[in-house]
Chains A and B, each alone.
Chain A
Amino acid sequence: MHLKSPEELEQLRTKILEERKAQEGKKGIVLCTGTGCRGAGALEVYEAFKKELGSKSAIDFKSTCCHGFCERGPITVVEPMGTFYQRVTPDDVPHIIAETVQKGQIIEDLLYQDPKTEQKIPTEKDIPFYKKQHRLVFGHNRLIDPTRIEDYVANGGYQALAKALFHLSPDEIIEEVKRAGLRGRGGGGFPAGRKWESCRRAPGDLRYVICNCDEGDPGAYMDRSLMEGNPHRVLEGMIIGAYAIGSREGYVYVRNEYPLAVENVGIAIEQAHKMGFLGQNILGSGFDFDVKISKGGGAFVAGESTALMASIEGYVAEPRAKHIHTVESGLWDKPTNLNNVETWANVPVIIEKGVDWYSKIGTEGSKGTKIFSLVGKINNTGLIEVPMGMTLREIVYDIGGGIPGGKRFKAVQTGGPSGGCIPEEMLDLPVDFDALTKAGSMMGSGGMIVMDESTCMVDVAKYFTHFLKDESCGKCTSCRDGTLRMYEILDAITKGKGKDGDIELLEEIGWATTEASLCALGGTAANPVLSTIRYFRDEYEAHIRDKRCPAGVCPDLITYTIDPEACIACMKCKKECPTKAITGEKKVPHEIIQAKCIKCGTCKEVCPVDAVKVE
Chain B
Amino acid sequence: MKSAQLEKILKAHDNQSSNVLAILQDIQATKNYLPRKTLEEVAEKLQIPLAQIYHLATFYRAFSLTPRGRHLVTVCTGTACHVKGAASILNTLERELKVQPGETTGDQEYTLETVNCLGSCALAPLVVIDGHYHGRMLGTRALSLLKGEKDASKKS
Contact = CB atoms under 8 A, between A and B. Distances in A.
Interface of A: 35-36, 38-40, 70-71, 73, 215-221, 224-225, 256-258, 294-300, 311, 313-317, 373, 375-377, 381-382, 413, 416, 447, 449, 451, 455, 460, 463-464, 467, 471, 473, 576, 578, 600-602, 605-606
B25 to A, nearest CB: 6
A257 to B, nearest CB: 6
Range for the number of chain B residues in contact with chain A? 35 or more
A381 B21 contact: no
A256 B25 CA distance: 9
A558 to B, nearest CB: 12
A46 to B, nearest CB: 15
Contact of B88 (A381, A471, A600): A600
A314 B79 CA distance: 30
B64 to A, nearest CB: 11
A42 to B, nearest CB: 10
Nearest to B19: A314
A605 B18 contact: no
B18 A376 contact: no
Contacts of B116: 216, 218, 300, 467, 471
A70 B61 contact: no
Contacts of B80: 218-219, 375-376, 381, 449
26 contacts: A36-B122, A70-B122, A73-B122, A221-B121, A257-B115, A297-B62, A297-B63, A298-B62, A299-B61, A313-B18, A315-B56, A316-B60, A373-B119, A375-B80, A375-B121, A375-B122, A376-B80, A376-B84, A377-B83, A377-B84, A381-B121, A460-B83, A463-B79, A463-B82, A600-B139, A606-B140
A314 B15 CA distance: 13
A258 B119 contact: yes
A447 B79 contact: yes
B133 A39 contact: yes
Contacts of B61: 256, 297-299
Nearest to A606: B140
Given A256-B25, A314-B18, A605-B139, A455 B59 contact: no
Given A313-B18, A376-B80, A381 B122 contact: yes
A257 B56 CA distance: 17
Contact of B78 (A219, A295, A605): A219
A169 B63 CA distance: 45
B95 interface: yes
Contacts of A455: 83
A449 B79 contact: yes
B1 interface: no
A294 B119 contact: no
Given A219-B117, A221-B119, A451-B83, A39 B78 contact: no
Contact of B62 (A36, A219, A256): A256
Contact of A376 (B79, B91, B118): B79
Given A256-B60, A257-B118, A295-B22, 7 more contacts: A35-B118, A36-B120, A221-B119, A297-B62, A376-B84, A382-B122, A473-B59
B129 interface: no
B97 interface: no
A202 to B, nearest CB: 22
A610 B146 CA distance: 26
B72 interface: no
B155 interface: no
Contacts of B92: 578, 600, 602
B112 interface: no
Interface in B44-96: 55-56, 59-63, 77-80, 82-85, 88, 91-92, 95
